[in-house]
């Protein structure tokens, strides 16, 4: 039991059927998560990170999306084969999720109390009164002032940051083992971002929850995560612990991402370095490495064969034939 | 209290609307409407008879005088006596409106409830077989003529070719059972038709709501689909749905349904109004126009109030 992973994703493939053909949004990714670990998933828009996050709760809109291969093992049990009604008892109780848009993620016509009580009563046998007390306690935990009063307010009466914190409180109200946070701070002000991230870390410690943080913000990753997956075009291109990744990135893409972050204390640059080119169209993927066209270390071999994700040293796995 | 003041202000603001509607209708009635005279006198009246009747009906008065009389009638709600039967307009309305309502309300209520449920189901399973079947039935309800549906239902339920369990037409209501006897078939036929239009409209509204972020959130927390549909989604979709329902109220109350009432011989307001328009029975038309405008304005105010009940983001100022 001890060496059993909390969550294990094995060779997951997710396809979307579109008018122009089938698109593999996620193409054979594997990763695992330990108890109370924080795993970051970074990548550009459209690299499959959100789809991966949604798939952990089987929330991919279907049709058009479908998990066509692979397993998602939660405490050793596969959830890919679980029925929709079994998933209902799973979502929010075992794995919870918070989303990018706090402005629209809460139901506008019900009070936040009503929504929190719904979640609590969905997964426990609490009476309405007990559920309300529990909801108020959660609001106190995230330091919402006057929780007894604010619980009867509607989402539009709160700021974006406050709504996101309420989402977090709601997500953690049934003590899930894993919290999946899909770009939780993207839509927020920078000052509020830090506040929300601090809240997530604090509650994570208190409840001993594992967190999967999906983001394109490397700063957020550096501050909160223990391990990082870098995704590109539906594949994992690099996996490392956070300090290794930031100190010595091996994959050219990861290096490209890191050098394109503006640094305040370093000498002034004429122009912020960027990664040339664009992400290839998922409908017309190249045969070889998907990053080849944008890569500065590309050689002929890269265009012919796809590099597998391999261990290059103790700390890093990289999908590149010629890593740094 | 805010709501009350708002409603009052809204009503006073609508008074010009009511007078505008009644003025335009009156111009149409006087200059383009049918002349009651020939209806009363038969085919070969003498010039003298014509003038006599014109005088009796007030047709010989100048337009402004006639409009002034109408104006007074609007303010006092007293539209005098029918030109055809001599019965007081208010008593005709009091007699026939309840009959129309007895037919129309069950249609309105059951038609909308069924449509909303079908629309929720279709929207939830959008793109799937269930959705397609529901929409297929809806399109039939929309595209087949009212008359054909009425006749079809009469054949199925009221004739010896079909079940033959209800009377074809008539209205001899003395008890609740006799009411059910006469009301069932017209209600079934109309509900079938209203499901067509309503379900399509409601489905579109609900599909838009179902793709919103908060629905995904609710799903991510394990909300049961039924609760998701009937609580989370329905309350959010209620504004357009309610607007549509409430706006039909004035026409149901005053106009009833001419086709339905004539096909089933139901002595409702629809038939009375239809006859009045054909023969130029001005007092009845004037009363109907005024009441419709009035109830329309009240319905609009009611819609505004209902918005605040359904959506906490709306405030009346």
CB contact under 8 A, A167 and B217: yes
Q: Which two tokens stand for residue A277?
A: 């080119």
CB contact under 8 A, A96 and B221: yes
For chain A, what is the HEC assignment?
A: CCCCCCEEEEEEEEEEEECCEEEEEEEEEEEEECCCCEEEEECCCCCCHHHHHHHCCCCCCCCCEEEEEEEEEECCEECCCCCHHHHHHHECCCEEEECCCHHHHCCCCCCHHHHHHHHHHHHCCCCHHHHHHHHHHHHHHCCCCCHHHHCCCCHHHCCHHHHHHHHHHHHHCCCCCEEEEECCCCCCCHHHHHHHHHHHHHHHHHHCCEEEEEECCHHHHHHHCCEEEEEECCEEEEEEEHHHHHHCCCCHHHHHHHHCCCCCCCCCCCCCCCCCCCCCCCCCCCCCCCCHHHCCCCCHHHHHCCCCCEECCCCCEECCCCCC
Q: What is the pLDDT of residues B48-66, one digit of tens each?
A: 888 888 888 888 888 899 9
Q: What was the pLDDT predicted at B173?
A: 85
Q: Are A96 and A180 in contact (CB under 8 A)?
A: yes
A122 touches chain B (CB under 8 A): yes
Task: Tell me the pLDDT band of A303, cut-offs 50, 70 and 90.
Answer: confident
pLDDT at B185 over 50: yes
Which chain A residues are closer than 8 Å to B310 by Cβ?
Answer: 109
β-pairing, A77-78 vs A235-241, is unpaired
A18 touches chain B (CB under 8 A): no
Separation of alpha carbons A27 and A14, rounded Å: 7
A148 C-beta neighbours (distance < 10 Å), count: 11
Please determine, looking at this structure, whether the domain spanning B89-310 carries the CATH number 1.10.3720.10: yes
Q: What was the pLDDT predicted at A3?
A: 61
Q: What is the pLDDT of residues B66-103, one digit of tens each?
A: 999 999 999 898 898 988 888 999 999 999 999 999 99
Residue appearing with tokens 């960027």? A274
Chain A residue at shortest CA distance from B314: A109
CA A88 to chain centre: 20
The shortest C-alpha distance from B229 to chain A (Å) reads: 13
Q: What was the pLDDT predicted at A1?
A: 44
Of residues B212, B220, B227, nearest to A92 (C-beta): B220
Task: Calculate mean pLDDT across residues B294-316.
Answer: 90
Q: What was the pLDDT predicted at B119?
A: 95
pTM of the model: 0.84
Q: What is the pLDDT of residues A38-88, one digit of tens each?
A: 999 998 888 888 899 999 999 888 778 889 899 999 998 898 888 888 899
Q: Are A108 and A146 in contact (CB under 8 A)?
A: no
Best of B221, B224, B235, B237 to mutate (most A CBs within 10 Å, chain A):
B221
B129 touches chain A (CB under 8 A): no
Side-chain half-sphere CA neighbours of B81 within 13 A = 8
pLDDT at B241 over 90: yes
Q: What was the pLDDT predicted at A273?
A: 79
Residue appearing with tokens 């490209």? A256
Q: Which two tokens stand for residue A29?
A: 């990714």
Sheet holding A7-18, edge to edge: A21-33, A7-18, A65-74, A77-78
Q: What is the pLDDT of residues B253-281, one digit of tens each?
A: 877 678 888 889 899 999 999 889 888 88
Separation of alpha carbons A126 and A129, rounded Å: 8
Separation of alpha carbons A206 and B211, rounded Å: 34
Which chain B residues are closer than 8 Å to A122 by Cβ?
Answer: 221-224
The shortest C-alpha distance from A200 to chain B (Å) reads: 18
Q: What was the pLDDT predicted at B197?
A: 87
Q: What is the pLDDT of residues B223-236, one digit of tens each?
A: 999 999 999 999 99
């Amino acid at each position: 039991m001890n060496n059993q992973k909390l969550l294990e994703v094995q060779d997951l493939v997710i396809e979307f059927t579109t008018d122009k053909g089938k698109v593999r949004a996620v193409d054979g990714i594997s990763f695992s998560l330990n108890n109370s670990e924080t795993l970051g998933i970074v990548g550009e828009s459209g690299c499959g990170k959100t789809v991966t996050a949604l798939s952990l709760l089987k929330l991919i809109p279907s049709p058009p999306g479908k998990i066509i291969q692979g397993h998602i093992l939660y405490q050793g049990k596969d959830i890919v084969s679980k029925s929709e009604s079994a998933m209902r008892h799973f979502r929010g109780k075992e794995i919870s999720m918070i989303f990018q848009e706090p402005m629209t993620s809460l139901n506008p016509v019900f009070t936040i109390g009503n929504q929190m009580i719904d979640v609590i009563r969905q997964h426990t046998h609490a009476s309405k009164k007990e559920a309300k007390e529990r909801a108020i306690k959660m609001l106190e935990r995230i330091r919402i002032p006057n929780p007894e009063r604010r619980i009867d307010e509607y989402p539009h009466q709160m700021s974006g940051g406050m709504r996101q914190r309420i989402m977090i409180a709601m997500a953690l109200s049934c003590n899930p083992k894993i919290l999946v946070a899909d770009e939780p701070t993207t839509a927020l002000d920078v000052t509020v971002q830090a506040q929300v991230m601090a809240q997530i870390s604090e509650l994570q410690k208190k409840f001993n929850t594992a967190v999967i943080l999906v983001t394109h913000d490397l700063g957020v990753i550096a501050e909160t995560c223990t391990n990082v997956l870098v995704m590109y075009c539906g594949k994992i291109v690099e996996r490392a612990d956070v300090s290794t990744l930031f100190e010595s990135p091996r994959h050219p893409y990861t290096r490209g991402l890191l050098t394109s972050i503006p640094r305040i204390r370093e000498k002034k640059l004429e122009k912020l370095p960027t990664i040339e080119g664009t992400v290839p169209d998922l409908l017309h993927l190249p045969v070889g490495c998907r990053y080849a066209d944008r890569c500065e270390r590309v050689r002929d071999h890269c265009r012919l064969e796809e590099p597998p994700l391999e261990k290059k040293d103790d700390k890093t796995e990289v999908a590149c034939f010629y890593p740094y | 209290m805010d709501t009350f003041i708002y409603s009052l202000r809204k009503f006073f603001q609508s008074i010009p609307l009511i007078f505008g509607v009644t003025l335009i209708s009156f111009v149409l009635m006087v200059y383009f409407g049918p002349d009651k005279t020939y209806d009363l006198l038969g085919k070969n009246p003498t010039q003298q008879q014509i003038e006599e009747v014109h005088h009796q009906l007030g047709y010989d008065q100048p337009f402004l005088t006639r409009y002034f009389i109408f104006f007074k009638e609007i303010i006092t709600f007293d539209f005098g006596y029918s030109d055809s039967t001599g019965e007081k307009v208010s008593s005709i309305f009091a007699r026939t409106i309840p009959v129309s309502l007895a037919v129309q309300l069950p249609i309105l209520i059951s038609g909308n409830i069924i449509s909303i449920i079908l629309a929720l189901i279709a929207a939830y399973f959008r793109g799937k077989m269930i959705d397609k079947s529901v929409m297929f039935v809806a399109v039939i309800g929309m595209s087949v003529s009212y008359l054909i549906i009425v006749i079809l239902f009469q054949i199925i339920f009221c004739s010896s070719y079909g079940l033959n369990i209800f009377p074809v037409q008539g209205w001899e209501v003395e008890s609740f059972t006799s009411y059910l006897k006469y009301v069932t078939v017209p209600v079934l036929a109309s509900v079938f038709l209203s499901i067509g239009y309503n379900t399509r409209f409601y489905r579109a509204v609900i599909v838009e709501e179902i793709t919103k972020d908060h629905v995904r959130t609710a799903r991510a927390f394990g909300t049961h689909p039924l609760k998701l549909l009937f609580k989370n989604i329905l309350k959010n979709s209620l504004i357009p749905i309610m607007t549509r329902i409430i706006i039909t109220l004035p026409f149901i109350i005053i106009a009833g349904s001419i086709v339905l009432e004539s096909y089933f011989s139901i002595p409702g307001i629809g038939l009375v109004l239809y006859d009045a328009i054909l023969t130029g029975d001005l007092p009845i038309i004037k009363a109907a126009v005024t009441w419709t405008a009035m109830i329309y304005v009240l319905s609009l105010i009611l819609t505004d109030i209902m918005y605040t009940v359904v959506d906490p983001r709306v405030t009346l100022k």
